[in-house]
A and B are shown apart, each in its own frame.
Chain A
Amino acid sequence: MSGKTDKGAKKEKKDRTPMPEQEPAERINNFKEVALGYTEEDALREASRCLQCKNPKCIKGCPVEINIKEFIRLISGKKFGEALAVIRERNSLPAICGRVCPQEDQCEKECILGLKDRPVAIGRLERYVADRELKRLADIGKECVYLDGNYKCSGEKVAIIGSGPAGLTCASELAKMGYQVTLFEALHKPGGVLVYGIPEFRLPKDIVRKEIEYLKSMDVDLRVNMVMGKILTIRELFDQGYKAVFIATGAGLPHFMNIPGENLNGVYSANEYLTRSNLMKAYEFPKSDTPIVKGKRVAVIGGGNVAMDSARTARRLGAEHVYLIYRRSEKEMPARNEEIEHARQEGIEFMLLTNPARISGKDGWVNSIRLQKMELREPDSSGRRRPVPVEGSGFDLDVDVVIVAVGQGPNPLLTATIKELGLDGRGLIKADPETGKTTVRGVFAGGDIVTGAATVILAMGAGRKAARAIDEFIKTGKW
């Protein structure tokens, strides 16, 4: 489907430029990135599809309002460096967002071309300019755009808790303003969900590492192995002279279904399964020391991106059958279309309108899962149609690994140590959506710990807004 490329014809209709990808049969045997990225030719061709609307709606669809029209115009003029600069004004992690943003629900959803045809592939273009710069730097022996080695921040001290998308963005914005930023991370590696959650084949960890190197070059003091609330309290941070604290601890608490058999050996939370594989590199066991149970018949419960990541990881770890079990229909699946499509291409077997009732085992190990068919009734509070079990539809499926990917909640480890901090019924921090201000003076919060599990770009947007609000708070002292 590469489309016709008749020269001469002005603005003739061009199909959306496809993304070069690793073939499914090949990629299920490795953890390398699936989407290979546009070539220059692809990027120019795709950029030429942009209508350069007078009133560009795409920009409003972007949570951080990148000047999309302008960066695409610059790509068309082969001014790739300038295009990247335009993106960076608003988004400090373009190589990451170009890969994992749900563009189809944001900028690309608003694209006028999308009315009759498919929208401009904005995300792929964003990725292209970011990757091109990383490649250019690598060619001259650099990892990232290090700021001048003498870059020194001398402003007031700000503490950021959590080094995922919200924390990283807030840190970079504040460092740019000259604040002395300390970024605390509980795990041994920074990056949060970008590192422990999203698999290598969707977001290479080297890209995350480079973005973090960039941050370090901005004099951000990164401290890993710091479980805040345990090793230091928020009160103590203020005592140490920090003027503001930004909490961005994410949604790291796995939900289970509370059905019988969930504690059998071979049953994982998606968080554990992905952490073992991504953060601990269990797919390289025994080269890496962390093991993982490699099932032959794996059931993944859930229909979001985390479920797709788990299913595709199981496939790469050698599963012959991976069943994706989701209680609603494909239309209601929260996962991105691209992920669903990739999962299907990789032979993931979808069992829709199906829900687990119990997990059974032998000698402590899971060996089967009891499923029942569901049907959709009237919409529930989430606006999605409510699934109810079809009577007498139960059946058993033989499996040796079950991965539960039915959502994550906020981790109470830190929030429990500061009683004045207002939380909602789910344990999420109550914070002003525009500023991130919480119920405690000087304490801001943003990302999944405020919204519940959402997207990378929304968390980044919250980090940016909080950085501005923190700047204002420190300058004016007004709360």
Chain B
Amino acid sequence: MYKIVKKKELTPDIIQYLVEAPLIAKKAKAGQFVVIRVNENGERVPLTISSYQHDKGIISLVAMRVGKSTALLSELEEGDSILDVVGPLGNPSEIENFGRVICVGGGVGVAVVLPIAVELKKAGNYVISIMGAKTEKVLILEKEMKEASDELYICTDDGSRGYHGFVSGFLEEYLSRHLANRENKKHGIDRVVAIGPALMMAAVARVTEQYRIKTIVSLNSIMVDGTGMCGACRVEVGGKTKFVCVDGPEFDAHEVNFDLLVSRQKIYCDQESACYDLYKKDCKCKK
């Protein structure tokens, strides 16, 4: 059992959980994830570790309520426990002093890119962050992102805050502006890390490909065990089948087959929404 010591609503649907998991906290590195199971009938859900306090034995998980499992999780209160937390899984992010790095986070993906931005900054990089959300009200972890970045830009789909449009649109304008300036020739962009919905990552990849900037994405495919045992999470990278859980979760964005990723994310859409509806109906009955 893994106790939730603090629970914070970042938005009405995105919740941050600080969870007691001393062994995982001790080993966790930026970019790694855990698999959780809320209760005995629960499914195994992968969640990226958003931050970790090695000394306090605590990890932070951020999850958006999208279906039954994340709804069940959101019902847990401070002091309650998550039945199973396994990790740290996956390979850590590659962290070194690359030079100038752009970190792009979309929606709940901001929580995933945050620890990577923190580590990249620590390693001496000049970190430019771009974070986006549908609207101002659902922007998350802005303060933390600001602390981790040398420059921070905000985008909203509806223009309620910052750039009016998608992060990929802003990135394109930023790059064309930045790289057109002759002064910046020696300060090119050395790397982009983009984490968010698959379509956002695909869009970012298309932008950076034109500029030939190495781009890393963290893929959020469906998983079961998270240890390479089942292959549910398989994706195509550079024309080869890879398992996100053990070969990833981070890959070179320009080699990822995003169409396949998007398609495979939808395998259980119908079943999951039916299951969620049933749950919501049941919830209302109880209330």
Contact = CB atoms under 8 A, between A and B. Distances in A.
A252 B271 contact: no
Interface stretch (A41-49, A72-80, A138-146, A273-281): A273-281
B4 to A, nearest CB: 16
A6 to B, nearest CB: 54
B271 A291 contact: yes
A275 B225 contact: yes
Given A289-B68, A364-B263, A272 B231 contact: yes
Interface residues of B, number: 41
Nearest to A229: B227
Decide if the interface of chain B is mainly helix, strand, loop or mixed: mixed
Contacts of A230: 27, 87-89
B228 interface: yes
**Interface residue tally of chain A, by bracket?**
35 or more
A229 to B, nearest CB: 10
Interface string A259-273: 000110110110110
A478 interface: no
Contacts of B236: 263
Contacts of A36: none
B267 to A, nearest CB: 5
Interface string B170-184: 000000000000000
Interface stretch (B38-46, B135-143, B148-156, B191-199): B38-46
A47 to B, nearest CB: 41
Interface string B255-285: 0000010011011100110110010000000
A187 B229 CA distance: 10
A293 B241 contact: no
Contact of A265 (B229, B264, B275): B264
B165 to A, nearest CB: 28
A254 B230 contact: yes
Interface of A: 186-188, 196, 224-227, 230-232, 252-254, 256, 258, 262-263, 265-266, 268-269, 271-272, 275-276, 280-281, 285-291, 293, 364, 411-413
29 contacts: A186-B227, A188-B83, A224-B84, A225-B84, A225-B85, A227-B86, A231-B27, A231-B88, A252-B228, A252-B229, A253-B228, A256-B231, A256-B241, A262-B241, A263-B241, A263-B264, A271-B231, A272-B230, A272-B232, A275-B224, A280-B43, A286-B271, A289-B42, A290-B44, A291-B268, A364-B266, A411-B228, A411-B229, A413-B228
